Structure formats: structure tokens, C-alpha cells
Amino acid sequence: MATPLERGAKRQDEAILLGTGGGPRPKKVNMSSAQVIIVNDLLYVVDCGDGVARQLVIAGVSLQKLRHVFVTHHHSDHNADYGNLLLFGWIDGLKPIVDAYGPPPLVRMTELIAEMNAVDIATRIADEGRPPFTGLVVPHELTAGGVVRQQAGVKVTAALVDHPPIRPAFAYRFDTPGRSIVISGDTAPSESLVTLAKGADVLVHEVLYLPGVDRLVGNEPHATRLRDHLVASHTPSAEVGRIAAAADVKTLVLSHFVPGDDRSITDEMWTVGVRAQFKGEVVVGRDLMVL
């Protein structure tokens, strides 16, 4: 693992965890879910949680190099800044086109970015001479798994995962010239993810720490319902280990931590259940960590 490169440096093949917190609330410790994979200096952003554009800038990554966005599913901790990433990218000089992939209604959501920001866009075009926003982004709606993109030596494969009640929800695998990286998105234990991640170099998987969840929901007015949702739609740490072992990945990176804002949960607590099942390398993800 390394620190982010300085802005402007040429980036050949790296992945950066931009936000590792799970759940929709803005958090003190971690930003919401987002990752970027950089191949030949072009960006493949996976998920657009709160602050994704700012995290890219802090990581020294130019928004102008954004070419692909992949949304795993439409929970707000994964898509709230989808529009903002594209709008700020446009302001930063992003060139057409950006291909965006994700579940419906991605096409309508993309149209609404321009509609919602019509005053700002029109003003900047007239006042600052900026190019049109129209045509900058081409959205592609996904309803089934399979190869979604294969270009410039990078193959991107999606798999449907189990994240009730949101359907569809996807995990994505990136086979680059250098290695293979899988991003689980949000998922309960899913055999489809095991298949997708088979033999991958890196699996970034969401994780739930059950004792922490009990503390988290203890203060909520709808504690039982919230706990039931979390357990039904996410993956407890021991199960993450089982999945990484079944997929036979080299390195498992924990991310999308639930609870996402509890400093009392140590790395040891996150990994003890994982290591009981998985004997490969285990990394506890952090915002801005370079993989």
C-alpha cells in the first residue's frame, strides 16, 4: 500500500478507496462508498457516495480523466454524488464522453442532472464560455450480469448480487493488463459474487460487525427493523472470510464498514472473524488507501 501520488503524476494501474463508510449518514470517520481504478491514466469510478469528487481531488486524481462511472445500486450512500461528480468534472474540464453504467433509472437520473443544474450550466456556458453539458455523459442501464465493457485492455464484468430490497444490485470485476480487482458493492453473502471473484488478485468486500450493529441500532427508534434489514442485506465478517476463501482471491480488502462511524471497533475486531475463514492477505480499508 502507498500514499496517493501527487497531482499530475502519470498513473498506470492503481485502485484507490475513496470512501469506506457504510450507510447513508455523513460520517466523521469515513466518507460514503466510492472507489476509483486507474488504468493507463483513465478513471473507472465505482460508486458515487458523498464527497466522491472531493476525495478524488484529495487523492491527487484529475477529474478530467474520468471516462467511466459504475453504480452498484441505488442506495444514497452509493449514488448521492453521481450527478455532482459529473457536474464538477464538467466544470474541471472533463471531455466527452463519460460512459456510465448502473441499474435503472440511470438514464432518467442522468437527464435530471442537467435539469436540476440548468441555471448553473447555462450561466457558465454564457458567462465563462464553457462547452455544453449535453452529450457529456452516456448512461447505460444494466438489468443483468455479464461483460459490460471491454476496451483498451480492460474488461469489466457485472454480476447480480443479493441486496434486498434493492434489485438489481451489482458487483463489478475489472480485469486490467496488470491484475483483477472485484468490488462487491452492497451484498448479503452471494454465491454469484464468489463466481465473479474466482481467482481475483483483489476483492474489495463490504463488511458488517454484528456486535457493533447491536450497539448502533440500540439507539434507534426502529431498532429491530433496522437490524433485520442490515443482517438480511449485508455480510457479517466471518461470512466475508468464507466468500474470499471460496473465491480463492489473493488479497481481501474490507470496506463499506457497518457501523461506519464507530471508532471503538478496532482492526482486530473487523478481521478476527474474517481470518478464521480466509488465510490470504487481509487489508482493513481506509479512505484514500491506494491498493
Q: Which residues bind Zn ion (CB under 5 A)?
A: 75, 77, 186
The CB-of-74 to Zn ion minimum distance in angstroms stands at: 8
| Residue number, 39 or 207, with CB nearest to Zn ion | 207
- Residue 58 exposed, middle or buried by CB count within 10 Å (0-12, 13-18, 19+): middle
The CB-of-10 to Zn ion minimum distance in angstroms stands at: 32
The CB-of-33 to Zn ion minimum distance in angstroms stands at: 6
CB 225 within 8 A of CB 202: no
| Residue number, 207 or 252, with CB nearest to Zn ion | 207
The CB-of-44 to Zn ion minimum distance in angstroms stands at: 19
| Residue number, 77 or 162, with CB nearest to Zn ion | 77
The CB-of-118 to Zn ion minimum distance in angstroms stands at: 30
The CB-of-270 to Zn ion minimum distance in angstroms stands at: 16
The CB-of-148 to Zn ion minimum distance in angstroms stands at: 20
The CB-of-256 to Zn ion minimum distance in angstroms stands at: 6
Query: What distances in angstroms separate CA 179 from CA 22, 48, 84, 244, one per listed residue?
Result: 26, 23, 30, 17
| Residue number, 67 or 75, with CB nearest to Zn ion | 75
| Residue number, 32 or 117, with CB nearest to Zn ion | 32
| Residue number, 24 or 60, with CB nearest to Zn ion | 24
- DSSP codes, 119-186: HHHHHHHHHH-PPPSTTSEEEEE--S-EEEEEETTEEEEEEEE--TTSSSEEEEEEE-SS-EEEE--S
Any bridge partners for residue 161, and if so which?
Answer: 169
| Residue number, 75 or 149, with CB nearest to Zn ion | 75
| Residue number, 107 or 166, with CB nearest to Zn ion | 166
